[in-house]
Structure 1
Amino acid sequence: MTGRGHERRGQDVASLVLRATLGPMLFAHGWNKVAGPGGIKGTTGWFEALGLRPAEVHARMAAGTEMAAGAGIALGAAGPLPAAAAVGLMAVAARTDHRGKGFFVFKGGWEYVGVVGGAAVALAALGHGRYSLDGLLRRQHAGARPALLAAGLGTVSAAALLAACYRPAQQPDKPQTQTDQ
């Protein structure tokens, strides 16, 4: 096999490994929103507390989008669209739940959502590879354009959703002190 053939096979394997880790993890996160300990009712309450209105719609939409994106990534279907969905989900999570909490996820920070979003964009750049549904159907999308599409579409979608539906509770005004005046 030529050097280019080995390189392509390596990319196909890298894509498969990335899809086999990222896809099922996203699917499981979505499934947990529906069937986890609090179920969809608990997820709805959590989304209400985050300020996503109407909370029940967003709970169901987030769960469904995570499961669909996870399945699409795991199967290697629909080019960069599942990656764009993952970027959008992570951008909304970063803004609503992880903002202002620093970097580390164990402190509530954005570490997890940053890694997942970055991995999704990297997968869009790498492409789903030969060992995927897209590969089987000969619909390969890889390179800078799919990566930019995933990052851009995900970010713009998240921004639109937040502009339309994010209404966090107002923080009560802090009483002024002598030093504030």
Structure 2
Amino acid sequence: MDLDLGLLVLRLALGPMLVLHGANKVWGGGGLTGTAGWFESLGLRPGWLHARVAAGTELVAGVLVTLGLLTGLAAMAFVGLMTVAALTDHRGKGYFVFKGGWEYVLLVAMAAVALAVTGPGAWSLDDAFGLPLSGPAWGAVAAVGGLAAAGALLAVFRRPVADEA
């Protein structure tokens, strides 16, 4: 029971946080238009596409982790999202998040991989449905799959702005 409670707390920290990040991309500040412009400034083109893909992935993966459903796959989405963030928005700013660095995104990605390894616990939909989407192999899927997906996205769509090249 202690482990299940700890995993629930972890899911309730990670999942809603990512849902709110996705919601902010859609409904916060400048909405999807502002998010698209921000992605364009990071070299992710076309920005309108990346704004929608990122927001949608954050919303879906966040809900899945919160519910403990398809945990290994949701963790892979977390790793992919955080890797893209680390290599675009946080790149070249050092480790510490208070200086714009990649500390936060690394922590989130590693926590997601840990969740893929341990599983979401007994208080989850994976457990209720008997879905075996966790364990060491799923941790590897989350880590390697997320890194590969981020690498593919950046290879195909990233076009650095002129002063970055």
Calculate the TM-score normalised by the size of structure 1. Answer: 0.88
Match of 2:28 among 13, 36, 48: 36
Q: Distance in 2 between matches of 1:31 and 1:53?
A: 21
Q: Distance in 2 between matches of 1:26 and 1:51?
A: 22
Q: Distance in 2 between matches of 1:16 and 1:149?
A: 21
5+ residue gaps in structure 2? none
1:64-114 Cα deviation digits (max 9, x unpaired): 000000000000001300100000000000001101101111211001101
* Structure 1 runs (4+) greater than 4 angstroms displaced: none
Q: Distance in 2 between matches of 1:172 and 1:110?
A: 18
Structure 2 residue 156 is the aligned partner of structure 1 residue 164: yes
5+ residue gaps in structure 1? 1-8, 174-181
Structure 2 residue 87 is the aligned partner of structure 1 residue 95: yes
Identity of aligned residues (%): 55
Q: Distance in 2 between matches of 1:80 and 1:50?
A: 28
Match of 2:139 among 137, 143, 147: 147
Structure 2 residue 105 is the aligned partner of structure 1 residue 138: no
Q: Distance in 1 between matches of 2:159 and 2:106?
A: 23
Structure 2 residue 19 is the aligned partner of structure 1 residue 27: yes
Offset, 1:140: 3.3
Instruction: Assess if the C-alpha contact under 8 Å between 2:18 and 2:62 holds in 1.
Output: yes
Cα distance 1:170–1:130, how it changes in 2: closer, same or farther (>3 A)? Answer: same
1:47 aligned residue: 39
Opposite residue 107 of structure 1, the aligned amino acid is K
Offset, 1:129: 1.2
Match of 1:59 among 39, 48, 51: 51
Q: Distance in 2 between matches of 1:21 and 1:108?
A: 21
Q: Distance in 2 between matches of 1:73 and 1:172?
A: 35
Give secondary structure in 1 for the equivalent of 2:71: coil
**Mapping 1:55-134, distance limit 5 Å:** 55-134=47-126
Aligned residues: 165
Q: Distance in 2 between matches of 1:150 and 1:70?
A: 15
Offset, 1:133: 0.7
1:14 aligned residue: 6
